[in-house]
Structure 1
Amino acid sequence: MNLFERLLHRRLCNEQPADGGAAPAPSAPAAPAAEVPEPAGEPAKQEGDKPQPGAEGDKPQEDKPADGDKPAEKPGDKEQKQEGAPEKYEFQAGEGVELDTEALKDFEPVARDLNLTNEQAQKLVDAYPKILAGVQQRQAEAWQAQTEQWAADVKADKEIGGDKLTANLSAAQRALEQFGDPELKEYLDSTGLGNHPALVKAFIKVGKAMSEDKVVTGGHESGGSDLISAFYPKK
């Protein structure tokens, strides 16, 4: 007999008359059974709330991309996919620029050691002419400043400069005309070495020796026409 039947039987017994009279007619509606409260803290579990095997809430599942969707890239994937040095570098010359093949022979091993892509290495190749032009310009300016300083040193020299400068340069000019040629004159002018104090002093000595000493050549006495005798006059 379950709980509901027990309660109903007890209620029927309580309603039986004390004198043994007849019980209420069966057709009379019975009073509803009192609800038995459930213990606190244990909510009723309905059958539909039971976890089903394989349900989503049973075990957390990893997010899987839907069909046709690309998986999300991880932070390290981008570095792994980064392109490095190619098997062979192929460089293109810019407009109006000729590639320096000898310089490229030295550059390619460095680019490969740095794992540069062809595109990255090409940017450096394109920048090379501009960098080289800047270096050459600064070198030319520095050399120009040096030759101008040499000329200033000659003018201020106590031995050959000052009031004696004009006469000394005339003597140097005679030596250059006598022993030099047009190619030497052009070289001294274009490079600025004609202003070097040591070279100027040497030509001055030669020019003075030419006017002071006599050299006998083949039985003929003439002015100094030998560079060695001019530098090392007879005593």
Structure 2
Amino acid sequence: MSEEQSAEAPPVETSNETPNEASENGGFFDGKSVEQEQEGFLADKGDAESNGDEAPKGEQDNTDDKPVEYEFKLPDGIEDSEETQAYTNELKTMAQALKLSPEQAQALLELDIKAKTEGAEEYKAAQEKDEKDKIKAAEKAVIETKAALKEEWGGDTDKNVRTANRALKEFGGSELEGVLNEAGVLNNATVIRAFHKAGLSLVEDSSPGGAGATKRNKSAAEILYPDEKKG
């Protein structure tokens, strides 16, 4: 072995620094752990951010638990009466139960009022039509009855009708007239004939020397149904 080869190699300097301490200078592959490297881009800081932003218990937002305040705007033509107030209060209760927003509750109010208004208008129109139909039917009945009585009584028709009206007034007045009218028989020829007959009996009983001077006045049933035998 040559003298040069036997020469000792220069001592290698060693460092007492640990790998982590040596990595403090930074740089590529500086010995940082994977966890330490996740501090820059794409670092998962979700836990830290959420922990920093999360409100302490008892101070969290309880917006969902707070009742929504509703201020309704009534459509044109709807008066702000006690009845309307009661209606809107009921609607508020329903809207809160359904967790509707103020806009949704307002839309519901407008839709409901529109439906009710249209329904009321349709009902009113139907009532008016029904009333007109009744009037037309009554007018037609009068024409038909007059024609039938005129054919039977001829020139005495008006006088006989007046006699029937006196009997109607005597035996029932406006109350009986209303009942007959409601039943749709006030202008019925058969009814008028019956009251004409009753009216003739009244005239006979009230005349001097008539039956009413010596006998009791007959009842309406006896006049209208003179042939009915007593049981």
How does the TM-score come out when normalised to structure 1? 0.40
Judging by fraction of residues, say which structure has more helix: 2
Larger radius of gyration: 1
How does the TM-score come out when normalised to structure 2? 0.41
